[in-house]
Amino acid sequence: MLSIKNLQASVDDKEILKGLNLEVKAGEVHAIMGPNGSGKSTLASVLAGKEAYEVTGGEVTLDGKDLLDLSPEDRAREGLFLAFQYPVEIPGVSNINFLKTAVNEIRAYKGLGPMEAKEFLKLVKEKQKLVEFDAKLANRSLNEGFSGGEKKRNEIFQLAMLEPKLAILDETDSGLDIDALRIVANGVNHLRSKNNAFIVITHYQRLLDYIVPDFVHVLYKGKIVKSGTKELALELEEKGYDWLKESVDAEENAAI
């Protein structure tokens, strides 16, 4: 599904990603962990196509299609979804109108006509229930005045509505209390299937108790420095990152 090879990216001439490799197959959940400033959110932004980030090398394909060549909207239409760490508030744009526009533009890209109003509302109801998203919130302005937890739940609601191939959750657990965390995780678990894949970016092992990953990767200094199974997350929780940092730094020094 997703193939990242030797990805290098910088922002304001500062190199952040320094040759990152990752293969994600359909049906898999990958967790990406790592200390602050290691490049986790940069990876999410680069994949989604945020303009401030400049890709200086490497390649990314989604089902064989060159992702880096596409505009952000076309990446989304190809089936990429980024759940934002900080969802944007847009007063005056209704949640439902926005979703209808998004759904129909994705359909148009695939050569399908707009969804019938009735069918759309049915889908909205069904997905609201699935991710326990309050119907009242769905009718409000996009994220305006939402609490942190409500914003994150709205991201998962949008995820459910758009049914992407690959979803990247960028620190979706940050700022969530235990109940909200459980609701968000349940939503994601309901949406998991053998046809889609998830990349879960997080600081804490806690989220991975609920969304159990197939693989865990540690990102440090713009590269994946260690990969393993869910046990790696537990080990990190226990030991922190220092032991990994030390070995990477030691290798770097040896190279010099």
Partner 1 sequence: MITQVSSSLYHQLVAFFEEELPLKGYQEPLGSIRKEAFARFKDSGFPSLKMEDWKYTNLQPLINQHYRLNDSIPGRNVNIDKAVIGGLDTYRLVLVNGHYRKDLSDTITDSGVVVCAIEDGVTEHEFLSHFAKYADRTDNPLVALNTALHEGGLYIHIGKNVTLKKSVQIIHVASADEAVFNQARNLFVLDENAEAEIIESFISNDHSVSLNNTVSELVLKEGARLQHYYLQVADEKSRYLNHTEVKQARHSLYNNYNCSFPGSSFIRNNINVRLDDTAVESHLYGVTLTAQDQLVDNHTIVDHRMPHCESYEWYKNIAQDTSTAVFNGKIFVQPDAQKTNAFQQNNNMLIGDKANIFTKPQLEIFADDVKCSHGCTMGQFDEDALFYLKARGVGEASARVLLVHAFAFDVTEKFSNTHVRAYVDSLIERGLVID
Least distance to partner 1, CB of residue 218, Å: 26
- For residue 244, what are its two tokens? 């990994």
Q: Would you count residue 77 as binding partner 1 (CB under 8 A)?
A: yes
Q: Would you count residue 90 as binding partner 1 (CB under 8 A)?
A: yes
Q: How far apart are the first and last CA of the chain?
A: 36
> What's the residue count for the chain?
256
What would the DSSP string read from start to end of 84-145? -SSPPPEEEEEHHHHHHHHHHHHHHHTTPPPPPHHHHHHHHHHHHHHTT--HHHHTSEETTT
Least distance to partner 1, CB of residue 120, Å: 15
CA distances from 17 to 1, 2, 63, 73, 252 (A): 21, 17, 22, 23, 16
Per-residue contact flags (x/-) with partner 1 for residues 47 to 76, judged by CB under 8 A: -xxxx-------------------xxx-xx
Do 11 and 42 form a contact (C-beta atoms < 8 A)? yes
Least distance to partner 1, CB of residue 194, Å: 23
Q: Would you count residue 121 as binding partner 1 (CB under 8 A)?
A: no
Task: Choose which of 26, 102, 115, 234 interacts with partner 1 (CB under 8 A).
Answer: 102
Per-residue contact flags (x/-) with partner 1 for residues 155 to 194, judged by CB under 8 A: ---x---x--------------------------------
Angle at 226 between CA 171 and CA 65, to 5 degrees: 65
Q: Which of 130, 126, 72, 67 is nearest to 102 (CA)?
A: 72
Q: Which is nearer to partner 1, 91 or 240 (CB)?
A: 91
Q: Would you count residue 93 as binding partner 1 (CB under 8 A)?
A: yes
Binding segment toward partner 1, per CB under 8 A, in 1-9, 35-43, 53-61, 82-90? 82-90
Name the site residues for partner 1 (rule: CB under 8 A): 48-51, 71-73, 75-77, 81-82, 84, 87-88, 90-93, 97-99, 101-102, 105-106, 109, 141, 158, 162
